[in-house]
């Protein structure tokens, strides 16, 4: 016997209604089903929402304020110029290398707080580039997010091609097919490869 089923528990009797069950029309014309009773006027809970007599607000809405950029966010690029420097393949490689080195630290590992983690990446990146601090924290982290997204998309395509490879198909052939599919799907060349 099921321990959760008790023969004394309530079971509704649907056969008492002429149709075999209650309908919305039955509620108004027939006695209330088991467990439902009419509430007296004193038992009804009054409305708890605040009432306003003024109607819609006549005050104009205030514009949303945006955070002002700090001086570090608007630093000019190298040479005092305010134009943004394009990322080179060497910079992308060094940023990736710094991220991997810091995240795979055998002592600390991935259990690092965000600011400390990115501070270590910055230091290693600038040391490898040998040009001083010419990129901001936002530049490094946003570039990393962009590169990471592209690599994950390419990796998904490559993995799918590799799992469904034909007999005799080399890794280089699979890579070319993955690059072709990436170009078709995202209308861009996958450039994050180091030869």
Q: What is the tens place of the pLDDT at every residue in 26-52?
A: 555 555 555 555 555 556 555 665 666
Closest CA to 162 of 149, 176, 148, 150: 176
What does residue 166 show for φ and ψ, rounded to 5 degrees?
A: -85, 160
pTM: 0.54
Structure-model confidence comparison of residues 65 and 170, the more confident one: 170
Structure-model confidence comparison of residues 120 and 68, the more confident one: 120
- Here the tokens at position 92 are 């992308």
For the chain, the helix, strand and coil percentages under 3-state DSSP, each to the nearest 5 = 50, 0, 50
In angstroms, the CA 19 to CA 13 distance is 12
pLDDT beyond 50 at 146: yes
Q: Which long-range contacts (CB under 8 A, 24 or more apart) does 28-36 make?
A: 34/10, 35/10
What does residue 76 show for φ and ψ, rounded to 5 degrees?
A: -70, 155
Q: Domain ranges in the chain?
A: 89-186
Q: The tokens 């910079």 sit on which residue?
A: 91
Closest CA to 188 of 138, 147, 144, 160: 147
Q: The tokens 């991997």 sit on which residue?
A: 100
In angstroms, the CA 179 to CA 14 distance is 65
pLDDT beyond 90 at 149: yes
């Amino acid at each position: 016997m099921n321990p959760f089923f008790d023969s004394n528990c309530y079971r509704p009797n649907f056969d008492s209604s002429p149709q075999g069950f209650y309908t919305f029309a039955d509620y108004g014309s027939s006695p209330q089903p088991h467990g439902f009773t009419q509430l007296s006027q004193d038992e009804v809970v009054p409305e708890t929402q605040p009432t306003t007599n003024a109607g819609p607000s006549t005050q104009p809405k205030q514009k949303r304020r945006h955070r002002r950029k700090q001086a570090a966010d608007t630093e000019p690029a190298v040479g005092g110029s305010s134009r943004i420097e394009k990322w080179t393949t060497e910079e992308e490689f060094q940023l990736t290398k710094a991220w991997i080195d810091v995240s795979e630290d055998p002592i600390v590992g991935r259990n690092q707080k965000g600011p400390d983690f990115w501070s270590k990446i910055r230091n290693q990146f600038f040391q490898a580039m040998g040009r001083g601090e010419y990129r901001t924290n936002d530049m490094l982290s946003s570039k990393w997010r962009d590169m990471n997204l592209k690599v994950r998309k390419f990796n998904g395509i490559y993995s799918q091609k590799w799992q469904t490879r034909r007999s005799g198909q080399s890794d280089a052939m699979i890579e070319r097919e993955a690059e072709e599919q990436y170009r078709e799907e995202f209308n861009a060349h996958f450039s994050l490869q180091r030869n």
